[in-house]
C-alpha cells in the first residue's frame, strides 16, 4: 500500500504544475466521503458527508493552500499574506512554515476560534489582530499585496480555487458520477466556486454526466448573497463565515445560475442544532460553520425541494475541535454538567443504570 501524496501530486495532470514545480504539501485531500444514514432517514435522500475536517490543519483550506503556497514559492515569494476568520490563517501558517517562508495573517480581533488562533501561533505566523471584521482585514491584505512584496493567498488568488476543485474530483471518484445536490457553507463563496469548477471539469473529462445543483448556505445574520447586498456588521456563532461582502460574489452567482443552484440563510439556533445532529447521530464533529450544510439540507427537505432518493453530498468544511465550546451546550440551551463519582464501581454501575 502507498501513502496518499497530497492533491497536487494526485491530480498533477489537472492542475497548472510541471515536474519542476516545488510542491509544498502536508498530505492534504483524500478525505472520507461517508454515508450518513441518520440524515438519509430524516430526509428520504441518499446523503453523504465529505469530511474536510480530516485535512492536515483541520479544514478544506489545505487543498487550496498547497497550491497557493507552491505557486508562491515557484514565483519566488518570501512572504505570504492573508485575511482570515481563522482557518485560512491556520492553513497559510502551516504551509508557509513547511516551505520555509513567512506567513503574515490578519484576523478580526476577538472573533476567531481559539483552536485556529492557536494554530497560527503554533506554526509561527506573524499574527495581527485587526480592530474590524473580516471584510476590513481582506481590504488591508489586498492593499498590502498590491503595494509590497507579499503574496496574497486568499481565495481571490485563483491558485486557491484550483486546489480546492480537487474535492469535487474525489466525490465523483467515490460515487461514480456527480450527486444530484451538493450542499456547502458559503462565506467568500470561493469553495462554492471551486466545487462548481471541479464538477464542470469532470464532465469535460468524461468522469461525470451531470452537474449537481449547488446549494450554498450563509448564516442569517451574515447573508449578503441571500439579501442581495453587502451586510455591514455581520454576526453569527459560525465565526468562519462571518463575512458581509463575499470576495467571489460574481463567480458565485454565475455558478448558481449554471447549476440551477440556490442560496439560503439559516439562523444560529438551527446551525447549532444541525451540529448536534451530525455529531450525535452520524459521529462526525464539525465546527458551527460546517454544520450549516446539514441545516441547509434539513431546511430544503422540509420545504419539499429534495425528491426522495436524491443523491446528496454535504461538504463539512472544518473540524469540531477547532471551536469546541458549542458542543458543551445542548440544543435546549442547558450546559452539560459532567457526572462526578467517587472511586467505586458499584456507584458507577448505578449511575449508568446497569444491573439490579
Ligand atoms: N467553512 C469554514 C470552516 C470556513 O473556514 C470557511 C471560510 C467557509 C466554510 C466558507 O468558505 O469563504 O470559500 O465560501 N473561511 C475563510 C477563512 C474565510 O478565513 O478561514 P468560502
Q: For the chain, which residues make up each domain, given as ranges? A: 7-56+160-328, 61-157
What DSSP element (H or E) covers 47?
strand 46-51
Separation CA 189–CA 166 (nearest Å) = 16
Q: Mean pLDDT, consecutive 10-residue segments, the chain of 356 residues? A: 93 98 98 98 98 98 98 98 98 98 98 98 98 98 98 97 98 98 98 98 98 98 98 97 97 98 98 97 98 98 98 98 92 85 96 88
Between the CA of 211 and the centroid of ligand 1 the distance, in Å, is: 23
Same fold, 7-56+160-328 and 61-157: yes
Q: For position 356, what pLDDT does the model report?
A: 66
- 142-157, pLDDT tens digit by residue? 999 999 999 999 999 9
Q: Which of 74, 267, 227, 72 is CA-nearest to residue 151? A: 72
pTM > 0.90: yes or no: yes
Top-tier CATH class for 7-56+160-328: alpha beta
Q: Pick the residue whose CA is nearest to atom 5 on ligand 1.
A: 240
Give domain 61-157's CATH number out of 3.40.50.1100, 3.65.10.10, 3.40.50.2300, 3.90.1150.10: 3.40.50.1100
Q: What is the DSSP string of 221-275?
A: GG-HHHHTS--SS---S-GGG--SS-TTHHHHHHHHHHHT-EEEEE-HHHHHHHH
Q: For position 1, what pLDDT does the model report?
A: 64
Sequence-ordered list of residues with C-beta below 8 angstroms from that of 245, at least 6 positions apart, any chain: 135, 224, 230, 231
Residues with CB under 6 A from ligand 1: 59, 61, 84-88, 155, 185-192, 240-241, 287, 289-290, 317-318
- 57-110, pLDDT tens digit by residue? 999 999 999 999 999 999 999 999 999 999 999 999 999 999 999 999 999 999
C-alpha count within 13 angstroms, C-beta hemisphere, residue 193: 23
Between the CA of 187 and the centroid of ligand 1 the distance, in Å, is: 5
Between the CA of 242 and the centroid of ligand 1 the distance, in Å, is: 9
Q: What is the DSSP string of 85-100?
A: SSHHHHHHHHHHHHHT
Between the CA of 354 and the centroid of ligand 1 the distance, in Å, is: 45
Amino acid at each position: 500500500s502507498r501513502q496518499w501524496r497530497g492533491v497536487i501530486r494526485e491530480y498533477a495532470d489537472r492542475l497548472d504544475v510541471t515536474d519542476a514545480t516545488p510542491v509544498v504539501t502536508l498530505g492534504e485531500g483524500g478525505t472520507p466521503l461517508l454515508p450518513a444514514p441518520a440524515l438519509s432517514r430524516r430526509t428520504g435522500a441518499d446523503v453523504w458527508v465529505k469530511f474536510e475536517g480530516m485535512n492536515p490543519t483541520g479544514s478544506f483550506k489545505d487543498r487550496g493552500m498547497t497550491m497557493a503556497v507552491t505557486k508562491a514559492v515557484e514565483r519566488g515569494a518570501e512572504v505570504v499574506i492573508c485575511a482570515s476568520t481563522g482557518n485560512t490563517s491556520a492553513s497559510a501558517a502551516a504551509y508557509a512554515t513547511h516551505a520555509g517562508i513567512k506567513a503574515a495573517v490578519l484576523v478580526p480581533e476577538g472573533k476567531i476560534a481559539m483552536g485556529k488562533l492557536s494554530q497560527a501561533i503554533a506554526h509561527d505566523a506573524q499574527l495581527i489582530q485587526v480592530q474590524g471584521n473580516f471584510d476590513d482585514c481582506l481590504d488591508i491584505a489586498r492593499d498590502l499585496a498590491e503595494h509590497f512584496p507579499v503574496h496574497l493567498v486568499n481565495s481571490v488568488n485563483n491558485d486557491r480555487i484550483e486546489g480546492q476543485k480537487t474535492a469535487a474530483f474525489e466525490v465523483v471518484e467515490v460515487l461514480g458520477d456527480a450527486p444530484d445536490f451538493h450542499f456547502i457553507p458559503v462565506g467568500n463563496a470561493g469553495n462554492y466556486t471551486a466545487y462548481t469548477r471541479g464538477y464542470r471539469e469532470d464532465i469535460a473529462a468524461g468522469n461525470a454526466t451531470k452537474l449537481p445543483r449547488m446549494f450554498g448556505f450563509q448564516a442569517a445574520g451574515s447573508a449578503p448573497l441571500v439579501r442581495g447586498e453587502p451586510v455591514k456588521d455581520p454576526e453569527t456563532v459560525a465565526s468562519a463565515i462571518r463575512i458581509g461582502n463575499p470576495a467571489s460574489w460574481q463567480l458565485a452567482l454565475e455558478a448558481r445560475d449554471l447549476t440551477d443552484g440556490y442560496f439560503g440563510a439559516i439562523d444560529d439556533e438551527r446551525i447549532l442544532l444541525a451540529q448536534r445532529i451530525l455529531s450525535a447521530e452520524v459521529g462526525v464533529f464539525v465546527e458551527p460553520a460546517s454544520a450549516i450544510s446539514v441545516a441547509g439540507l434539513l431546511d430544503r427537505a422540509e420545504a419539499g425541494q429534495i425528491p426522495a432518493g436524491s443523491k446528496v453530498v454535504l461538504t463539512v468544511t472544518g473540524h469540531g475541535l477547532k471551536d469546541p465550546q458549542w458542543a458543551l451546550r445542548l440544543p435546549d440551551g442547558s450546559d452539560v454538567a459532567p457526572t462526578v463519582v467517587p472511586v467505586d464501581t458499584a456507584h458507577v454501575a448505578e449511575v449508568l443504570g446497569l444491573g439490579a
